[in-house]
Structure 1
Amino acid sequence: MRTVGLLGGMSAESTTLYYQAMNRMVRERLGGLHSMQLLMWSVDFAPIAQMQADGDWQAAGEVLAQAAARLEGAGAQAIMIGANTMHLVADQVQAAVSVPLIHIADATAGAVKAAGCSRPLLLATRFTMEKPFYRDRLSAQGVEAMIPGEADRERLHAIIYDELCQGVVTQASKAEVLAMIAKTGEADCVIFGCTEVGLLLSPADLALPVIDTALVHAQAGVDFALG
């Protein structure tokens, strides 16, 4: 089994999901007492979130690049960033290491196409929904993502940072997000494009196919480890 290095803590809530999912997937594949061979660097998210808010992506990228280099030095044979938004600095992180970076948008595009879809609704932070780094990467692979209207984007962003990243899950916010999805009738699937969205919603809540980015990214990490 190859060793994967995970950059986590963005947020710690979803990083827990990654750890549980990857260990479960390895056990399902190999059986018995097998588990994921994993190194993890968990950042303090508060300074990173402030850098995001300030638009200081260079500084945020430096933090992750340094952590990725430490993971490679400790034996990681691939790097994963356990967050969608921080893939805005994926090139900066990749430049700091000689091992591959397993990109969450690539795993997501593959899952969308495997579901027979091409026009997903992307639910994520405002950074991921509005900046080109994510949707352009999906588009290059034939996936044209739609996003909610501006007011809904702002509200969803607040739910993610003020609630989900802090472990707060409410039925009121769930109802709000389901209402956002219901407004978008042209989508053929829904991307949980923030790794915390799966804490609020489950595929059973929706009639459309769901691509949970945390889970498909975790699967990509496991495929690498066992490949």
Structure 2
Amino acid sequence: MKKVGIVGGIGPEATVDYYQSIISKFQEKIGSKEELPELFINSINMYKMFNMLTNGKMREVIHYLTDAVQKLESVGADFVVICGNTPHIVFEQIQQKVHIPMISIVEETYLKAQDLKLEKIGLIGTKFTMENDFFRRPFSSNNIEMVVPNQSEQEYIHRKIVEELENGIVNNETKKGFLSIINQMINRDGIQGIVLGCTELPMLIKKEDLNIHSLNTAEIHINKIIDIIFMDKTL
């Protein structure tokens, strides 16, 4: 079975979810509570990365994350995932600098939207995820329109993610605010689904909260990780 390397700490809550979910899904698939997957976690400093992004230091971000991936490769991981959406802003540049295969949360989310036959979808996440086009590219390239909240809504979402969700704080008033924005996007933009483009968002927003498709990027990513762990062939 393949060993997974996880670049974690982006944020800590998502890292815990990845770890626990991978174990749970692995044991369910193998049919035993006495078996565990072999994995490695390299937990980096999310705030250091955010500061680099805020100041436009993309080269430093690429170097920081490439180093994190290379450390996982050096200890024996067979493939690597980054358990956050925001770092995928430089995913392609990192993959070009390392030899180990990496599994993109963006690509897997796009494939899920394609399976659901969605034509117009919303995206919420950190300001870096909403402002940049790295998440939208595979969707727009394949005729799936992706829209984001307006500027004031983006600022509210980003602030609440950083100040609350990244610190494990689940606030009911914040949940109401996020759901209000999503419902505005349904009415204003006609979206058929919403991408929860921050791996902490499922702490706040559940599938049953919405009448449209909710794409939990962490869950989608983790399901792919489990599939690859059990693959016999080389990636």
TM-score, length-scaled by structure 2: 0.92
Per-residue deviation at 1:116?
2.9
Per-residue deviation at 1:180?
0.2
Distance 1:108 1:132 in 2: 15
Distance 2:142 2:115 in 1: 12
Alignment check: 8 A CA contact 1:7 1:81 kept: yes
Secondary structure class of the residue paired with 2:25: helix
Per-residue deviation at 1:129?
1.2
Distance 2:24 2:127 in 1: 31
1:193 aligns with 2:197: yes
Q: Which residue of 2 aligns with 1:132?
A: 133
Distance 1:189 1:19 in 2: 27
Alignment check: 8 A CA contact 1:4 1:79 kept: yes
Distance 1:134 1:9 in 2: 20
Moved more, 133-142 or 164-173: 133-142
Q: Which amino acid aligns with 2:6?
A: L
Q: Which amino acid aligns with 1:96?
A: K
Please tell me the root mean square deviation across aligned C-alpha atoms, in Å. Answer: 1.3
Give the percent of matched residue pairs that are identical in Structure 1 and Structure 2.
Answer: 29
Q: Which residue of 2 aligns with 1:44?
A: 45
Distance 1:141 1:9 in 2: 32
Q: Which residue of 1 aligns with 2:103?
A: 102
Which of 184, 191, 202 is equivalent to 2:206? 202
Q: Which residue of 2 aligns with 1:150?
A: 151
1:81 aligns with 2:85: no
Which of 210, 213, 219 is equivalent to 1:215? 219
Q: Which residue of 2 aligns with 1:118?
A: 119
1:159 aligns with 2:160: yes
Alignment check: 8 A CA contact 1:79 1:100 kept: yes
Q: Which residue of 2 aligns with 1:21?
A: 21
Q: Which amino acid aligns with 1:7?
A: V
Secondary structure class of the residue paired with 1:132: coil
Q: Which amino acid aligns with 2:210?
A: L
Distance 2:170 2:196 in 1: 15
Q: Which amino acid aligns with 2:24?
A: R
Per-residue deviation at 1:78?
0.9
Per-residue deviation at 1:125?
1.0
Q: Return 5+ residue gaps in structure 1 as ranges.
A: none
Distance 1:94 1:115 in 2: 28
- Paired residue total: 227
Moved more, 154-163 or 40-49: 40-49
Alignment check: 8 A CA contact 1:122 1:191 kept: yes
Distance 2:227 2:140 in 1: 24
Q: Which amino acid aligns with 1:50?
A: N
Q: Which residue of 2 aligns with 1:61?
A: 62
Moved over 6 A (4+): none
Distance 1:214 1:95 in 2: 23
Distance 1:118 1:57 in 2: 32
Secondary structure class of the residue paired with 1:34: coil
Cα deviation 1:19-78 (Å, max 9, x = unaligned): 111111111211102333211100022211211221212112211101111111111111
TM-score, length-scaled by structure 1: 0.95
Secondary structure class of the residue paired with 1:210: strand
Q: Which amino acid aligns with 2:9?
A: G
